[in-house]
Structure 1
Amino acid sequence: MAQLAGLILVFVLVFGGLFLTGGSGAMHALPFEMALIGGAAVGTVLIGNSLSVAREALGGFAKAFGGAKWRRDDYQDLLVLLGTLMRKARQGGFVAIEADIETPEESAAFEAVPRILDDEGASGMICDAFRLMALDLSDPARAEQRMDQSIAAYLDQRMKAVGALNTLADALPALGIVAAVLGIIRTMGSIDQSPAVLGTMIGSALLGTFLGVFLAYGLVGPVAARFGQIVDEDARFLDVIRSTLGAYSEGLAPGVALEMGRAAIPPALQPDTATLEQALSASRFIAKSRTAA
């Protein structure tokens, strides 16, 4: 919400000033210049990146204004899910959670947390970690190494998209100059016109430089910075999974492993101990009810 308010403020001030000082000529040329620079900007992103990275980069605009994906309730749901799976594995061995990790879409534990189930990165990381622990009990560190690799792959893909936006921000002033030069060329072709006409044409040409600088430092640059922050914030969710299951794979009790994971959650999103314990108790009660039924 703060980012959206900032965007509105910037646009109102800048384009309000342009309207008041630039007159009708500048406003008449604005759509053409915007389409020229914007189209060239999208083209540079496509030229310099793979299709997946380009799509991720352009989607970064929506993510920058939408905020981080994971909320406080999601972190609590994650700890409850991990606690449920660790407790079942502790009591009945890894065979007790085989159905949960092989077909999570049919697991009652995963169905209780649909946002985590729908996220392939988070659900896949959980299932892979438990699967590796079950396959190789002699080397518990292997599961943690695999989780480290998953987090690194997540960050690599998304930081490439952040880098693409930063490159675009660097390129926009130059694209604005290109648009301005095109306007000057058009003006020189009408050199026999009156000074009033030439003044309007030159002002429209300089509008390209204005837009290039504004879009670079007033929009794309800040969006890239915010997108990078969101990537880091969302990666924290995966880091909590790694911290919790890494502790469990080393032989710590589920309760201790959960506390290790809770400590890895940012303070602003961290569920308190009492609330988490209530959620875990409710999960255990529901599981016993299903078993009895």
Structure 2
Amino acid sequence: MIGIIGILVIFVMVFGGYLAAGGKLGIILKALPFELMMIGGAAIGAFLISNDMAAVKHTAKDIGKVFKGPKWKAEDYRDLLCMLFELIRLARSNPVAIEEHVEAPDESSIFGRYPKIQSDKEAVALICDTMRSASMNYDDPHQVEEVLEKRMESTMHHALHSSHALQTMADGLPALGIVAAVLGVIKTMASIDQPPEVLGKMIGGALVGTFLGVFLAYGLVGPFAGKVKAVVEEDAQFYQLIREVLVANLYNHATNICIEVGRQNTPSHCRPSFTDLEEALKAVKQEAA
């Protein structure tokens, strides 16, 4: 919602200010379709040249994050801590019983109680792979933490590709606007024998290209790239919380301490209070009993 509001503010302030200053939209609207075809078409073409089809699809999907915001909400962090509490407690009390959950998370009763987390392949794989490795005695906290860190860095690098692609497009749009403007000047020079009022409109139309390139770069595409990056980085904290809790578990801290480590590493605006989390964990214990 806030993304839509931002776009409306941009258009109202830019074009509203132009009209308030006595500008006329007629010349802009007349030149806009042709300038947009040249600038937008060239930008899209350059984007397709510099990215493969997987990256193109990934970027198109990630544009939705500008309007949807982060995937993980406060209740999801609380559910994650509750789920990890169940898994760690079961792994310590019955190492054999935990195997059916980490080997087949789609059929797990524990994962099934948290469908949103269960549907996220990366979160489930991160939990199951780490707990499976621990059951095979690969449980050195330092080594596991290093492996998880590298894995998340790789995942983050891939997730940020769409943001980088959009930013590259934004960086090129002003130059493409100049290209369109130069073509407009060439067109104007070919009609140099026309009256001044005609030449004035033609030059104005050419300058629409420069305006459009800069406007799209800094008013839309650039902010889109920044928002996608911010959302990706915030969602990554969900997986970092998994790492913190599972590594704390490998240090053989008490289960409640492991969960408290995770709670304190939860982003402040999504962090459940100690009391709220305790009540949620009590409900989990009662349901398990």
Give the TM-score of the pair, scaled to structure 1. Answer: 0.91
SS in 2 for 1:191: coil
Q: Which residue of 1 aligns with 2:252?
A: 251
Q: Which residue of 2 aligns with 1:131?
A: 132
Q: Which residue of 1 aligns with 2:97?
A: 96
SS in 1 for 2:98: helix
Report the AA paired with residue 9 of structure 2: L
In the TM superposition, residue 120 of structure 1 has moved relative to its aligned partner by: 1.3
> How far apart, in 2, do the equivalents of 1:267 and 1:139 lie?
30
Q: Which residue of 1 aligns with 2:169?
A: 168
Mark the CA change 1:56 to 1:18 in structure 2 (over 3 Å): closer, same or farther: farther
1:157-194 deviations in Å (ceiling 9; x for gaps): 12232222222221110010111122222223333333
In the TM superposition, residue 138 of structure 1 has moved relative to its aligned partner by: 5.3
Whether the 8 Å CA contact 1:84–1:109 is kept in 2: the answer is: yes
Whether the 8 Å CA contact 2:139–2:250 is kept in 1: the answer is: no
Whether the 8 Å CA contact 1:144–1:242 is kept in 2: the answer is: yes
> How far apart, in 1, do the equivalents of 2:268 and 2:226 lie?
22
Structure 1 stretches lacking a partner, 5+ long? 289-293
1:250-272 deviations in Å (ceiling 9; x for gaps): 21121111011111101111011
Q: Which deviates more, 45-54 or 67-76?
A: 45-54
> How far apart, in 1, do the equivalents of 2:31 and 2:16 lie?
15
Report the AA paired with residue 25 of structure 1: I
Whether the 8 Å CA contact 1:129–1:146 is kept in 2: the answer is: no
Mark the CA change 1:230 to 1:186 in structure 2 (over 3 Å): closer, same or farther: same
1:68-91 deviations in Å (ceiling 9; x for gaps): 111100000000110010011011
In the TM superposition, residue 18 of structure 1 has moved relative to its aligned partner by: 4.8
Whether the 8 Å CA contact 1:183–1:201 is kept in 2: the answer is: yes
1:32-55 deviations in Å (ceiling 9; x for gaps): 222321222122222223333333
Say which of 53, 70, 73 aligns to 1:71: 73
SS in 1 for 2:226: helix
Moved over 6 A (4+): none
> How far apart, in 1, do the equivalents of 2:134 and 2:142 lie?
9
Q: Which residue of 2 aligns with 1:228?
A: 229
Structure 2 stretches lacking a partner, 5+ long? none
Whether the 8 Å CA contact 1:133–1:143 is kept in 2: the answer is: no
1:79-130 deviations in Å (ceiling 9; x for gaps): 011001001101101x211111111111111111111111111111111111
Give the TM-score of the pair, scaled to structure 2. Answer: 0.92
**2:44 aligned with 1:52:** no
**2:22 aligned with 1:5:** no
Q: Which residue of 2 aligns with 1:210?
A: 211
Q: State the Cα RMSD in Å.
A: 1.9
**2:36 aligned with 1:30:** no
Whether the 8 Å CA contact 2:102–2:131 is kept in 1: the answer is: yes
> How far apart, in 1, do the equivalents of 2:40 and 2:284 lie?
51
**2:200 aligned with 1:199:** yes
In the TM superposition, residue 59 of structure 1 has moved relative to its aligned partner by: 3.5
Q: Which residue of 2 aligns with 1:82?
A: 84
In the TM superposition, residue 156 of structure 1 has moved relative to its aligned partner by: 0.7
Q: Which deviates more, 214-223 or 83-92?
A: 214-223
SS in 1 for 2:157: helix
SS in 1 for 2:97: helix
SS in 2 for 1:206: helix
Whether the 8 Å CA contact 2:133–2:139 is kept in 1: the answer is: no
SS in 2 for 1:269: coil
How many residue pairs end up in the alignment?
287
Q: Which deviates more, 71-80 or 186-195?
A: 186-195
- The percent identity for this pair of structures is 44
Say which of 62, 84, 92 aligns to 2:64: 62
> How far apart, in 2, do the equivalents of 1:113 and 1:35 lie?
47
> How far apart, in 1, do the equivalents of 2:231 and 2:255 lie?
30
> How far apart, in 2, do the equivalents of 1:23 and 1:280 lie?
61
Report the AA paired with residue 56 of structure 2: A
Mark the CA change 1:25 to 1:137 in structure 2 (over 3 Å): closer, same or farther: closer
Whether the 8 Å CA contact 1:129–1:144 is kept in 2: the answer is: no
Structure showing the higher helix proportion among its residues = 1
> How far apart, in 2, do the equivalents of 1:169 and 1:274 lie?
46
In the TM superposition, residue 21 of structure 1 has moved relative to its aligned partner by: 1.2
Q: Which residue of 2 aligns with 1:291?
A: none
